[in-house]
Chain A
């Protein structure tokens, strides 16, 4: 009755939120399939990417002012995003060199524990540097376009488009480039990859780089959608990220997208029927359901 009327609008919100989750989930899925551990610091990589984006945006805004038509941002965001993605990639590779590299042969549990430590370290370093108050990507108030009973902002269409494009480009990378094939090979069989002469450390660096770049993109888009970011951004997204990866199956970018969209939709649409404050529990519920029914996910192999 009352709830059902809101569903179409919530579907829109769900697709947008799902896009952001997708970008984080792809990276998480990549590191899981190639490096064989659940990286609990991945959410915080989204946070670091978002804050890097803000920093670069502050740098470029005076040089490239203005906005793109109906969007809330302008040309300054483009170099800011690219640089943030690159910087975040470097950050992730750096963390790998310093920490995870020494644990290549360790069991997944140990890596998991270490990644929790990295998560708290990263998040609090951001908190220390930038403070706890939300920081804004834009103060512009967008006018929404009406489609019948649904409202859509230009930003939201943009976010959706970016996510789809990113997934597609990743697919191209994995399927058609030498590095992408090496990544898939390593995910299949690390020893055989070494035996074939593949430089596995380089593949690892690429994995972190791509994953972190996508995470940064997701963080920045989250900042655009919500107008602001806080240091808790990533950690709050962690549960939905894992839910998305498990739902969509590990190692498949299209799976991660399916998972991400499903979680986003489920979370948003659920608010029509259950109190908003319990939204995080929805992702968790789906996650547990999937773990029990089909732990390898919908697309997954193992």
Chain B
């Protein structure tokens, strides 16, 4: 349950939302993407109210979402997963494919491999790549480094930075508070469904209270 949470994202920004388990981080993303409908409050994309608009329409408006789990099609190949990302387009996705492969060279080499057989880090890349196929202005990431080993998590964070560099605004929800704050422009701290702190990434990293509560590791 979320209460009076307010989050903003500027073009090209990388914003992270951190907080303990059960704080409502995933719920926030799902609400923004239209998988859940809020009882109160609005979601706006570029001045337009998109509250409650269903997901398959939201993707057409330039916002894409990567779920935390079950975020790939395991029996499809890398290439096919990406193709599904651009399903609503009539044709001519070659350019988009090459852009995604540029961003994730590791995937380019294994494009015909079934994703189900790939490692967690690679799957995460496929998941993000799929969401990027529609050239979204906003990318929603739900705990992209969950259950990944530190070196793989690092890889994923690098990829996220690369995505940001290509001009996409990113709102990500993360368990890995320290690293995500380190690369983020701004951050929000969600506790028990409420906004507790906000500020730039550096500010929050330096904050003692937050350090005590979340940045243990």
Which residues does A use to contact B, with CB under 8 Å? 178, 181-182, 184-185, 187-189, 191-199, 301
Contacts and interface: CB of A to CB of B under 8 A. Distances in A.
B59 interface: yes
B70 A189 contact: yes
Chief secondary structure at chain A's binding surface: helix
Contacts of A197: 55-56, 59-60, 87-88, 134
A182 B83 CA distance: 9
Interface of B: 33, 35, 55-56, 59-60, 65, 67, 70-76, 80, 83-85, 87-88, 130, 134
A181 B93 CA distance: 15
Residue among A189, A192, A196 with max Cβ neighbours from chain B (10 Å): A196
Contacts of A188: 73-76
A192 B70 contact: yes
Nearest to A200: B56
A194 B174 CA distance: 24
Contacts of B74: 188-189
Given A182-B87, A185-B84, A198-B87, A192 B56 contact: no
Contacts of A187: 75
A195 B55 contact: yes
A193 B88 CA distance: 11
Nearest to A175: B80
A194 B55 CA distance: 7
Contacts of B80: 181, 184-185
Given A184-B80, A197-B56, 8 more contacts: A184-B73, A185-B76, A185-B80, A196-B130, A197-B60, A198-B88, A199-B56, A301-B75
Contacts of A178: 83, 87
A185 B75 CA distance: 8
B72 A192 contact: yes
Contacts of B83: 178, 181
A192 B87 contact: no
